[in-house]
Amino acid sequence: MCILSENVIIEDEVTKEFILEIAGDEALDIIEQLKEKGETTDEDIAENVECDLNNVRKILYKLYDNGLADYSRSRDEKSGWITYSWELTLDNIDSVLKERKKVYLEELEERLEYEENNVFYVCPDGHERLTFEEASEEQFECPECGKQMVHYDDDRDIKEIKETIEELKEDLENS
């Protein structure tokens, strides 16, 4: 998978979710900018994405911490200002994401087991979802509002988790 090819980075849900998780919504715009320009300064990015410079820097450092971006410093001889040029580290992004997907897959498999091995009860107002054991400790009353909890059918959740697991497995096999 080449991350530079036609918006893969935004289209791939796991990639997107990962970036949102580590760096927030605005990171997607910043990554788009970096993809487009190759190498650019934080000031330039801030101007183009109409985002506060400090915020842009914060996001860039989060990407850096996760091995997705790198920077170089240069000092202007006259003014003494230091400029930071940023670029995406695309070689890393594939391996970072692959690791991430493996972890995500493990989490999903655990979640699937949990969903399959438990019976759930929910508050009709959506406050809580508890396992049968947890709900019986509360006498099947929502801990937040006291309403009678009702049985929750998690078949749809299980189906969705299974589908995502299949997609991830396929993706990992092909990468």
Binding site for Zn ion (CB under 5 A): 123, 125, 127, 142, 144-145, 147
How many Å apart are CA 92 and CA 106, to the nearest integer? 21
Non-local CB neighbours of 175 within 8 Å, separated by 6+ positions: 1, 94, 98
| Nearest residue (CB) to Zn ion, 38 versus 146 | 146
Measured from the CB of residue 41, what is the shortest distance to Zn ion in angstroms? 50
| Nearest residue (CB) to Zn ion, 74 versus 148 | 148
Measured from the CB of residue 134, what is the shortest distance to Zn ion in angstroms? 14
| Nearest residue (CB) to Zn ion, 65 versus 144 | 144
Measured from the CB of residue 91, what is the shortest distance to Zn ion in angstroms? 49
Measured from the CB of residue 89, what is the shortest distance to Zn ion in angstroms? 46
How many Å apart are CA 159 and CA 175, to the nearest integer? 24
With DSSP H G I counted as helix, E B as strand and the rest as coil, what are the percentages for the chain, rounded to 5?
A: 60, 15, 25
| Nearest residue (CB) to Zn ion, 106 versus 125 | 125
How many Å apart are CA 116 and CA 113, to the nearest integer? 5
